[in-house]
Each structure stands twice: as C-alpha cells, then as structure tokens.
Structure 1
C-alpha cells in the first residue's frame, strides 16, 4: 500500500475534486481508488482538536489508513497549540510528525520520522 500527502488546498477529505451533474469525485474517492493512505495536515490553532479527531475517525471508518499528522501555521511556544498537539496525539493515537511554522514554505524537522510513515 502506498501513502500520499493529500493535495494542498483541498479543504479536507470531503471536498470535491470534480463535480459533474451525475458524478461527484471527492478526494476520498481518489484515495480509495488508488489504494492510498494519507498524511493529515491540520491547522495548529483553535478548533483543531475537534476537526482533526473527527477527520481521523471518518478516515478510519472508511478504512483509509492515516500515517500521521502535520500541524500547519505552527507558533512555537504557543501554549494552546502545544496543548492541541498533545491532545490530538492522545485522542487519535497518531503521531504528530512535524509542525510547520506560520509563514514557512518548507518543512523543517526530522525527515526520518516522515519517511518512517511511508514504509
């Protein structure tokens, strides 16, 4: 089974990739058709515990493997975001593999943890 990072800007697992009169192609449909897993990208701020846990549960219900979580718009030292990270890991049982600082365009962090998620 291969894993893929869901396309940036997709808006979430239920967002349409194609919308025709009789057929709606969702990101979920593409992941299942290609037998992929995913790496969930979540906002580091307010509301992320609820949205991230619900998304993970939805993916699990659909038998789509989640390899781990990345937090986006991360503010190092922000107490709320640090608590969000702890709670998301606790409630999902998934590792937060990396945190992308607010305004950063490249991922910093341990690449070995990211690579392990795909093996």
Structure 2
C-alpha cells in the first residue's frame, strides 16, 4: 500500500508508516509547502492514498468533484503524533482492504466510509 502523508499529518506518522513497510511520500519531508490542488492531483495520478488532517480535501472531493484513490481524513481531538499513529493502526488492522477509493473520516471513536466517485 502507498500513502501520501500531508504536511498537517506530520513526519512522525510518515516515518511510522515506513517502519510498517509501506511506501510513503511525505509532503513535509519531500515537498514542503505543496499546494492542496497539487497534492490531490499527485495522489490520484500516482495511486497514493492520502492521509491528512485538512478538511479542505473534503471540499475538493465533494464540491469540486476531484478524483482520488483514497483519502483518510483524521478528525482527532488529540492531535499528538502518538494518537494519530494509534488511530491509523486500528484503522489498518480492521479495514486495510477497504482503504482504496474511499473517503474515510476517522475520529478516536468512529470510522465513516463513503464512496465519492
């Protein structure tokens, strides 16, 4: 599985994903300041699942009808890296086969899937 980790999600999450054996493109490490339009385009064109904390991507998908290969939107009250990692770990343990082509909103207590295309 391939993940594009948005700057808002952070480098610690990107490094953890690499340690788990995933292929990762970290905006923070590799393209700091990259525009959201460029991020969603890159993720779609190169088959990355986008992980972000930026709810603007919901607008891009639902209002602007932007295509994607999967978006995981973390809507967490606790924004510490350890909580992001634990939340992603739970998501992947339970739903790794369902991440591709879905828009997924994840909180500490809830996971909501939708197909946006």
Q: What's the TM-score bracket when you normalise by the shorter of the two chains?
A: 0.3 to 0.5
Q: Determine which structure has more spread, i.e. the larger CA radius of gyration.
A: 1
Between Structure 1 and Structure 2, which shows a larger proportion of strand residues? 1
Between Structure 1 and Structure 2, which shows a larger proportion of helix residues? 2
Q: TM-score with structure 1 length normalisation?
A: 0.36
Q: TM-score with structure 2 length normalisation?
A: 0.37
